[in-house]
Amino acid sequence: MSARRAWTGRGLRRERWHGYFFLAIPLLYLAGVVLLPLLEAVRSSTFRIRGLRATFVGLDNYARVLGDAAFWNALSVSFRFTAISVVLHLALGLGLAMLVAECGRTRTALRIALLTPWMVAPAIAATIWLWLLEPQFGVLNWLLRAAGLIAENRSWLGEPGLAFGAIVAVDVWRGVPFMMLLLGAGLATIPKEQYEAAAIDGAGALARFRHVTLPNLSYLLAVACTLDIINTVRQFDIVAVLTGGGPAGATEVLPALLYNTAFRGNDLGGGAAVGVLLLMIVLAFVSLYIALTGAARSDD
């Protein structure tokens, strides 16, 4: 075909340079705007920073951070928070997408209504929930007691287990709509013929799901999962507004630990160390994930 003609010999090299040119501008921009501050943050993680006085301490900050129980607690909280949230995002998102897909004319209106939690800024969403979860005057306690589900007012943000549940719940509330949107778009591209063929073969609803829906969505699910993990690990606004990391560190995810170490603990170097560690963990995890799913995919 004619397309192949241009990609030979000198033409190929010239084309490649064109490609680099197109890429150069955005990459240069990102380099300046993102890479520089990142390098500066990494550099400051090797200093003991006492305000405007900084002493070089090499990897001492890392040793201190890794030796502090608060870091391992934060790692555990982050891990649990991310795992539970992402699973719920995907499962509930897919479920909602499938439900909405069945509806005909009301589909658009439904989608918009269900998307509203995602459209609001995380900090504002958290503030609304702060008010809903207030022990004495919040409406949630009142509703649950009226429904007979709880006997007395619970302190949703004051008890460690409940507080963890609360931040997961708010994150899920905010995150599911986007997954619903993304996976719904994917669902729309699955050819109906596949479903009909499966039905003719006698497959029930569950079997159709396993053999038609999931395989078609596998790439999208993988990508959505990756992005969601990256986003959820970084999640800070919700924790900051609702609990600040408490009670007693039960909701202190790694970004919260970073913030608390840097600003409340007056230890900017230590905070930078936590940040770099967080980055390395996420990078390792995502690279592993991409390698695993990349091997399974046919192209690229």
Partner 1 sequence: MIETTRRHMSKITGALAVTVLAGGLLAAPARAEPVTLQWQTANLTEPQFEPVWKQMIAEFEAANPDIHIEPILVARKDDWTKFVTAAQARRAPCVVQEDLATSAYNGYLMPLDRFWATEPAAFRAAYSDDIMAAMHWKGALYGVPIWGGVFAEIYNTDMLTAAGLDAAHPPTTIAEYLDWMRKLTKPGQWGTAVLGGPTDTTTRVLLTWIWANGGEAFNADMTKATFAADPKSLEAIKTYLGLVGQGLAAPSPNTTNYLEQTVLFEQGKIAAVRSAYWAIAKMLVDNPSLAGRMTVGPVPGNGATLALLAPASIASSCKYPDQAWKFIKFQAEKKWALERARVSDWMPLRNDMMDEPEIAQDPLLQRFMQIGLQARSYPLPHPAWAEIGGVDVVKAVQRALLDPAHTEQIFRDLDALLNKKLNDL
Partner 2 sequence: MRPAVLLRWLLLGVALLAALFPFYWMVNTSLKPLGEVMRSPPGFISPNWSFAAYATVLATRPVLRWFANSLIVALGSTAIALVLSVLAAYGLTRFFVRGAGAVVVALLFTKMLPETLLVIPYFQIMSDLGLINTHLALILVYSSFSVPFAVWMLVGFFRSIPREIDEAALVDGATRLTALWRAVLPMAAPGLVAVGLFTFLLAWNSYVWALVLTTDSTMYVLSVGVANMIGEYRVQWNELMAASVVAALPVMVLYSLLDRHLVSGLAAGAVKG
Contact call for residue 214 and partner 1 (CB under 8 A): no
Taking CB within 5 to 8 Å according to partner kind, which of partner 2, partner 1, none is near residue 265? partner 1
Taking CB within 5 to 8 Å according to partner kind, which of partner 2, partner 1, none is near residue 112? partner 2
Taking CB within 5 to 8 Å according to partner kind, which of partner 1, partner 2, none is near residue 290? partner 2
Amino acid at 41: A
Is residue 271 a contact partner of residue 61, using CB atoms and an 8 Å limit? no
d(CA 131, CA 142): 13
Output the smallest distance, CB 255 to partner 1, in A.
Answer: 14
Output the smallest distance, CB 45 to partner 2, in A.
Answer: 9
Contact call for residue 136 and partner 1 (CB under 8 A): yes
One residue of 176, 243, 253, 258 binding partner 1 per CB under 8 A: 243
One residue of 11, 58, 158, 191 binding partner 1 per CB under 8 A: 158
Output the smallest distance, CB 241 to partner 2, in A.
Answer: 9
Beta-sheet strands, E only, within the chain = 47-50, 53-56
d(CA 61, CA 46): 7
Query: Of the ranges 31-39, 89-97, 170-178, 185-193, which one interacts with partner 1 (CB under 8 A)?
Result: 31-39
Query: Of the ranges 203-211, 228-236, 259-267, 289-297, which one interacts with partner 1 (CB under 8 A)?
Result: 259-267
- Select 160 or 246, whichever has its Cβ closest to partner 2: 246
Contact call for residue 246 and partner 1 (CB under 8 A): yes
Q: Considering only CA atoms, which of 174, 286, 269 is closest in space to residue 226?
A: 286
- Select 54 or 160, whichever has its Cβ closest to partner 2: 54
Q: Considering only CA atoms, which of 232, 242, 237 is closest in space to residue 278?
A: 232
Encoded tokens for 47: 């200093």
d(CA 244, CA 134): 15
Q: Considering only CA atoms, which of 272, 295, 254 is closest in space to residue 72?
A: 254
Output the smallest distance, CB 36 to partner 1, in A.
Answer: 6
Q: Which residues of 113-142 are buried (b: 16+ CB within 10 A; e: fewer)?
A: ebeebbeeebeebbeebbeebbeeebebbe
- Select 45 or 249, whichever has its Cβ closest to partner 2: 45
Contact call for residue 131 and partner 1 (CB under 8 A): no
d(CA 273, CA 222): 30
Q: Which residues contact 28 (CB under 8 A, 6 or more apart)?
A: none
Task: Write the DSSP symbol of residue 54.
Answer: E
Output the smallest distance, CB 239 to partner 1, in A.
Answer: 12
- Of residues 64-123, which lie at the interface with partner 1 (CB under 8 A)? none
Q: Where are the alpha helices (DSSP H) in 189-213?
A: 192-200, 205-208
Contact call for residue 50 and partner 1 (CB under 8 A): yes
Contact call for residue 263 and partner 1 (CB under 8 A): yes
d(CA 50, CA 55): 8
Contacting positions for partner 1 (CB under 8 A): 25, 28-29, 31-33, 36, 40, 50-53, 134-137, 152-153, 155, 157-160, 240, 243-249, 259-260, 263-266, 268
